[in-house]
Chains A and B, each alone.
Chain A
């Protein structure tokens, strides 16, 4: 267990080293928050609710998306694929820690860093500028924290799975970019999923992508209460376990056909 903790700490430190990059990223998130806020507010302006969202919900949603984007980390994670392509994954497989567990630990360390340093600045800025309608109920914040942690696990397990395609495809980049694009929309980062037409929304909301972003945001907005809240968290947990399990199966299949050159 100790090893995994150390891996998580190193995952945290790896990103904490680049303070300038964090600041630049938070700035970019804030600019996008401003622009997207204005566009989406044009939709709810002058109407009571769209998909259960009023203007205050919509504004909070926009800024929480910007804050949680780096937790969901939909773009550009190809660390595992690179090690598969280069053959270095053999070294990783020989280590006395579980391969998936080790990557998960490091990624959760990263997610913790990004929650604090990429999540708080845009949300705090928006709170200053617009007075967001954030809840005061500590239990809701606790549920939100659990939901964000689960979102990070779902996100990791999906990325882990997609990276494994490098066992079969020499040039994996197309698959990676495509999956992150689809994830970007289906996670609810472009428009709130409740804004989608009923039938589409029903399908999109059972896919794992909604568990990465839309769901934790809806938890904090208080859209899930009581038993419904437990169900929402259970939904995330189910996808996390399912994707982690699938990842193990695919990893095993990939390792079976793995041939590494060299003396």
Chain B
């Protein structure tokens, strides 16, 4: 994968093919779209139910939590579209078809990622985007160019953080395909957690999630900066500015776990 432009072109071809194949089943695509929209909606309805019982959650108002939810939701939906199909990656290992990928002139991770672009997740994406618009309009923020830029950058870094976690989780399959579900605790768990103010969680749980699995950098810390809120967790309200560094580190970690996995891979059979 020496030439990034060529890789991008290959990716565009494969992504277009994936979209065309999904578009063959229109009703199914429509249902999937509505399905992911409704699924995302139930998560947000849960937040609304909580706020029907109290005005602030962990010191955060509804528009503020909506900002967390919107940022975390969009990042997660983008990640799910780009790499969500890694959930089924264990099948390539189990059946030994991963061998084929190793002899092609692209990196194996690139090929697995490029094999699908899950546009059915657009439902989740649009729901989260709607919540984000509501939050942007109602949160007590004086929107300026730097703040808008930070918000957009956060969507990118959030997606990268989730992607790094997802790749590392999927790479578990190189060692064992049976305990794959452990990864769900970090991917889907991370997505749940990032939608809430992390000061709600117990001390060691939030430390683990802030600094080991850096889900707190998906939305919480950048939103603390955007909203100008104090940070009761680490007392470092500027920590969100480090999100790009954390994102790169998480991606690198995911890639490293994958490479270790490939090295460990011995194919199936005798």
Contacts and interface: CB of A to CB of B under 8 A. Distances in A.
A34 B49 CA distance: 19
A43 B179 contact: no
A190 interface: yes
B245 interface: no
B45 A178 contact: no
Contacts, number: 106
Interface residues of A, number: 37
B32 A173 contact: yes
13 contacts: A19-B178, A21-B179, A24-B182, A38-B200, A38-B201, A50-B53, A173-B31, A178-B31, A191-B46, A191-B50, A195-B53, A196-B49, A197-B49
A42 B189 contact: no
Contact of B35 (A28, A177, A190): A177
A174 B32 contact: yes
B219 to A, nearest CB: 15
Contacts of B189: 28, 31-32, 35
B58 A34 contact: no
Contacts of A35: 189, 192-193, 201, 205
B30 interface: yes
Interface of B: 25, 27-32, 34-35, 38-39, 42-43, 45-46, 49-50, 52-54, 57-58, 176, 178-182, 184-185, 189, 192-193, 196, 200-202, 205
Contact of A171 (B28, B34, B35, B38): B28
A27 to B, nearest CB: 6
A74 B39 CA distance: 13
Q: Which of A18, A35, A169 has the most CB of B within 10 A?
A: A35
A25 interface: yes
A226 interface: no
Closest 5 CB pairs of A and B: A174-B31, A20-B178, A171-B28, A24-B181, A24-B179
Given A39-B200, A42-B58, A23 B32 contact: no
B202 A28 contact: no
A184 B49 CA distance: 15
Contact of B50 (A25, A43, A174): A43
A139 B30 CA distance: 48
Given A20-B179, A28-B189, A43-B54, A178 B25 contact: no
Nearest to A129: B202
Contact of B46 (A169, A174, A190): A190
A42 B202 CA distance: 11
A24 B178 contact: yes
Contacts of A40: 50
A175 interface: yes
A171 B49 contact: no
Contacts of B176: 20
Interface string A154-181: 0000000000000001010111011001
A181 B42 contact: yes
A173 B32 CA distance: 8
Contacts of B182: 24, 27-28
Contacts of B43: 190
B204 to A, nearest CB: 10
A171 B184 contact: no
Q: Which of A174, A175, A195 has the most CB of B within 10 A?
A: A174
A185 B47 CA distance: 12
B138 to A, nearest CB: 21
A182 interface: yes
Contact of B32 (A50, A177, A184): A177
A27 B57 CA distance: 27
B90 to A, nearest CB: 11
Interface in A31-60: 31-32, 34-36, 38-40, 42-43, 47, 50
